[in-house]
């Protein structure tokens, strides 16, 4: 699996950048994980609008969902101009009343995900686990041809995600806080908390993302490395990672 970072900021984007969004690709798939502010403009550098197979949304906070409306318009244009013949599926939890907005005329269709509903998207298996967050959030486990990728969405350190992450080749985990800031924003992780979770899960590789706007994020990998013995990367717009 190949993952391209389309946006890696928490809350709001830095100039010319975007909040949460990742393009997951295999030999058969183009799947968008989260659709935050600024994500679409970056997505279309990598694929055409008609080539997107699905979007999966971790939760409905704006920094993960702000561009969904424009994604729906893009699907409409693709269908009206006969570049696409089926509505774009947008997967998300049904606990938010925003779920109903995911179905837009005949151009996009909202589809439910939950801890009890796993997906098989043409060989890509996706399962979900609820995390502790201020909005109902589902972490995702994506499995394809023996590789395992986890994308957490947002979560607090009370979440026990280690068993869900077992065997992970790569964990993309929100890291909104520096080590000394534990609890500053409840429902978010510090470098230490992220690293300890990845260590407990036995992950091979960890990508820190969903960055704060105050502080030098370049120091985050050093903080995390005290608690995680695998490979650590800092997410960066347009950067590509492989499982």
Name the site residues for Zn ion (rule: CB under 5 A).
Answer: 10, 61, 63, 154
- Distance CA(181)–CA(190), nearest Å, equals 7
**With respect to Zn ion, which residue has the nearer C-beta, 13 or 87?**
13
CB of 105 to Zn ion, least distance (A): 28
H/E element holding 80? helix 68-80
Of the pair 183, 202, the CB lying nearest Zn ion is at: 183
Which one, 93 or 243, has the nearer CB to Zn ion? Answer: 93
| Residue for token pair 């510090």 | 190
**CB of 222: closest distance to Zn ion in angstroms?**
23
Closer CB to Zn ion, residue 61 or residue 84? 61
Which helix (H) or strand (E) is 119 found in, with range?
A: strand 119-121
CB of 20 to Zn ion, least distance (A): 6
Q: How far is the CB of 154 from Zn ion (least distance, A)?
A: 4
Widest CA span in the chain:
53
Minimal distance in Å, beta carbon 198 to Zn ion?
19
3 state DSSP class of 85:
coil
Q: Which residues contact 50 (CB under 8 A, 6 or more apart)?
A: 78, 83, 84
Both tokens of 211, joined, read: 């960055």
Q: Which is nearer to Zn ion, 50 or 101 (CB)?
A: 101
Which alpha helices (DSSP H) does the chain contain, by range?
A: 39-43, 62-65, 68-80, 191-201, 220-225
Contact present, 31 and 54 (Cβ < 8 Å): yes
């Amino acid at each position: 699996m190949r993952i391209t970072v389309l946006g890696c900021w928490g809350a709001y984007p830095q100039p010319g950048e975007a909040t949460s969004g990742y393009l997951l690709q295999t030999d058969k798939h183009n799947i968008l994980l989260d659709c935050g502010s600024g994500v679409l403009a970056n997505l279309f550098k990598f694929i055409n609008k008609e080539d997107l197979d699905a979007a999966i949304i971790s939760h409905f906070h704006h920094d993960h969902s702000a561009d969904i409306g424009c994604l729906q318009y893009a699907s409409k244009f693709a269908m009206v101009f006969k570049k696409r013949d089926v509505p774009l599926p947008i997967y998300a939890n049904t606990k938010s009343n925003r779920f109903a907005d995911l179905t837009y005329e005949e151009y996009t269709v909202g589809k439910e995900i939950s801890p009890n509903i796993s997906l098989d998207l043409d060989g890509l298996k996706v399962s979900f686990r609820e995390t502790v967050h201020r909005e109902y959030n589902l972490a995702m486990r994506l499995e394809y041809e023996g590789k395992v990728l986890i994308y957490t969405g947002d979560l607090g350190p009370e979440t026990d995600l280690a068993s869900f992450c077992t065997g992970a080749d790569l964990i993309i985990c929100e890291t909104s806080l520096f080590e000394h800031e534990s609890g500053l924003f409840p429902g978010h992780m510090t470098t230490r908390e992220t690293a300890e979770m990845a260590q407990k899960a036995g992950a091979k590789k960890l990508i820190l993302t969903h960055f704060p706007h105050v502080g030098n994020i370049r120091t985050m990998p050093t903080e995390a490395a005290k608690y995680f013995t695998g490979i650590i990367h800092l997410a960066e717009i347009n950067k590509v990672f492989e499982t």
